Structure 1
Amino acid sequence: MALTFVLDPAVTPALRDGILDLWADVTDAGGAVGFVPPVTPDVIRPELVKHFAAMAEGRTRLLVGYDEEGAVAATAFYTFNTHRLMTHWVWLYTVMVHPRHQGRGYGRELLAAAADGARTFDGIEAIRLTCRGGLGLEHFYGSCGYKEVGRVPGAIRVAPGDDRDDITMLLPLG
C-alpha cells in the first residue's frame, strides 16, 4: 500500500512524537540522518525544534508520508535559500523512511512527492541534497534522477577514524 503524503501538515504533539520516533528508529537502523546510533528521541528533540522554528519563520517546509495506520512513516524538510542569487533552488533535508517500510519503494515515492511539492513553490527550479558517502546513497538518489554535482572527501566524521565523503546531489525540476 502506498504512503499518503501531506505538505505542511499541522504541527501537533502526535506529529512531533511521530517524527522523533521515526528519526530515532532510522538512526538506530544505520540511517545517515545527522546522528549516529544509539540515539533517543530526547537527543534528537533540539534538532527537530530548530526545524519547527524555521517552519514558523517560513524558511522551511515539511513533507510527511503517513502509512495505512496513519503513523508517520517518511519525512523530508525543504529549506529555502536566503541568498538572492540562490533562491531558484531548495535544499532537501532529513529525508527518511521508517526501516519497517524500506524495500517497498517508499523512498522513491517520497522523493517523487518531494519533487512534486517543490514544483508548487514559486521560482524553484531544482532540489539539492547532501548524503553521507560509504553507504551507496548516491546510487539510490541517482536512480531517482539526481546527479552528483559535488563531493568533499572526509567531510563527515561519523567516529574517530571513520570519515565519510559529503556528497551533493541535484535534481533539476524542469
Structure 2
Amino acid sequence: MSLTFRLDPPGGPALRDGVLALWADVTNAGGAVGFVAPVTAEDIRPEWRGHLTAMAEGRMRLLVGYDEEGAVAATAFLAYNTHRLMTHWVWLYTVMVHPKHQGKGYGRDLMAAAADAARAFEGIEAIRLTCRGGTGADRFYAACGYKEVGRVPGAIRVAGGDDRDDVIMLLPLSPRTAP
C-alpha cells in the first residue's frame, strides 16, 4: 500500500475537514506542527484560513497524500519566497503523516513527493524547512537528504520552562532524472 499524492487538489469541505482532522490528530499525538496538544480542528481553523489565503494568492502550494480509502493521510505546504533575492528556494511547512499511517514509509514518500513537486517549479534550486528540536524530526529529515544548516537555541517555547531549538535544514535539488 502507498499514498496517492496530488499537488493543489480541488478544495472544498472534504479537503478542509480532512486537513483539519489530520492536523489535530498529528498535534494531539505529539507532532510538532505549529501547535501544542491538546487542540481541536477549530483551534487550527484560523491557521488553515491563512494557508488558504496564501494559496489563493499564489504564494503557497498544498501537497496532499491520500490513503487507499481516499482520506487525507499526509500533507505538506510549499511556500514560495517573495523576497527577490530568495526566489530560487521554497519553504516546506507543516509536514504531516497521520499517526495511524506512521511507520509505513509514508513520511519518506511525502518528502520525495515534495522534492519532486519543488523540482517542477520554475527556477527552484532548494527546499528549506525548520523543525522543533528534541522531537527526532531533524534525524528523519536528515535521512531524507536534508542537511542541518543552522540552529537557534531555545527559539521555540512549547511551555513555560520547555524551550526547544529551531533547527534549520536544507535540501539542494538536483534536476530529476528518469528512472
For normalisation by structure 1, the TM-score amounts to 0.99
Deviation, 1:41, is: 0.2
SS at 1:21's partner residue? helix
Q: Is 2:131 the partner of 1:163?
A: no
CA RMSD of aligned residues (A): 0.4
Equivalent residue, structure 2, for 1:149: 149
CA distance in 2 between partners of 1:80 and 1:117 (Å): 12
CA distance in 2 between partners of 1:19 and 1:97 (Å): 11
Specify the code of the residue in structure 2 equivalent to 1:35: F
Deviation, 1:136, is: 1.3
Listed one character per residue, the Cα deviations across residues 9-58 of structure 1 (whole Å, up to 9, x for unaligned) are: 01111000000000000000000000000000000000000000000000
Equivalent residue, structure 2, for 1:17: 17
Alignment of 1:9-158 (within 5 A): 9-158=9-158
SS at 1:63's partner residue? strand
CA distance in 1 between partners of 2:166 and 2:156 (Å): 6
CA distance in 1 between partners of 2:109 and 2:8 (Å): 17
CA distance in 2 between partners of 1:63 and 1:135 (Å): 23
Deviation, 1:93, is: 0.3
CA distance in 2 between partners of 1:53 and 1:17 (Å): 17
- Superposed structure 1 runs of 4+ greater than 6 Å apart: none
Specify the code of the residue in structure 2 equivalent to 1:126: A
Specify the code of the residue in structure 2 equivalent to 1:78: L
CA distance in 1 between partners of 2:10 and 2:101 (Å): 23
Specify the code of the residue in structure 2 equivalent to 1:12: G
Percent of counterpart pairs with the same letter? 78
The number of aligned residues is: 174
CA distance in 2 between partners of 1:15 and 1:156 (Å): 29
Deviation, 1:63, is: 0.2
